[in-house]
Structure 1
């Protein structure tokens, strides 16, 4: 179990770029995530499967890029300001358009890791995954 490597990385991100995004969202990202995205911006983890507490399986397809012109983390600012999703900041995606997110709604210092299902409404859209970004990476495994 646990992360082995990242593929299709877009290039390093510096502290200033991360700080700009944090200011936009009015949050401080967890240090483990910042350390990861500095090296593996936009990358795809291998292995990439994880389990929810209920036994269902999820897929961590890729980190949302800080630098990609077509799809970058800043594009989720409006999502994070919506009345229902206020305080939920996406950092990754699954292959089906759903989001892996930091949930700052209940703790501004230590956000939980959640899955946001874009086809569900309100509370059914949010599924808890784990407590920290490192815990998520440690849960990753291959089904092969």
Structure 2
């Protein structure tokens, strides 16, 4: 179990880019996440399946890029400011357009990892995944 490698990473992200993004969202990202995106910005984890506590399966398709001009993390600024999703900052996606994110709503220092289903509304859209980014990576496994 656990992450083995990243595919299609877009190249390194520097501390200044991460700090500017943190300032934009007015948060401090967890250190384990920052270390990961420095090296694997926009990458696809292998393996990429994980289980929720309720037994359902999820897929961590890719990290949201800090540098891609077509889709990058700063484009979620409005999402993180909406009344309902205020304090949720996406960092990854599944293959179906749903989001994995940090939930800062209840703890500004230690955000939980959540899944956001874009087809649901309000609290129904949010499913807790685990406590830390490292824990998410450790949960990843292959279906093969």
TM-score bin, normalised by smaller chain: over 0.9
**Structure 2 counterparts to residues 87-102 of structure 1, below 5 A:** 87-102=87-102
Which structure 2 residue ranges, 5 or more long, are not aligned?
Answer: none
How many correspondences in the alignment?
144
Aligned Cα root-mean-square deviation (Å)? 0.2
Task: Please identify runs of 4+ aligned residues in structure 1 that moved more than 3 A.
Answer: none
TM-score of the aligned structures, taking structure 2 as reference length: 1.00
Q: How many angstroms apart in 2 are the aligned matches of 1:79 and 1:116?
A: 11
SS in 2 for 1:29: coil
2:47 paired residue number:
47
SS in 2 for 1:23: helix
1:85 paired residue number:
85
Which structure 1 residue ranges, 5 or more long, are not aligned?
Answer: none
Q: How many angstroms apart in 2 are the aligned matches of 1:74 and 1:54?
A: 31
1:22 paired residue number:
22
Cα shift readout 1:23-69 (whole Å, capped 9, x = no counterpart) = 00000000000000000000000000000000000000000000000
SS in 1 for 2:58: strand
TM-score of the aligned structures, taking structure 1 as reference length: 1.00
Q: How many angstroms apart in 2 are the aligned matches of 1:26 and 1:116?
A: 20
Query: Displacement of 1:120 after TM fit?
Result: 0.1
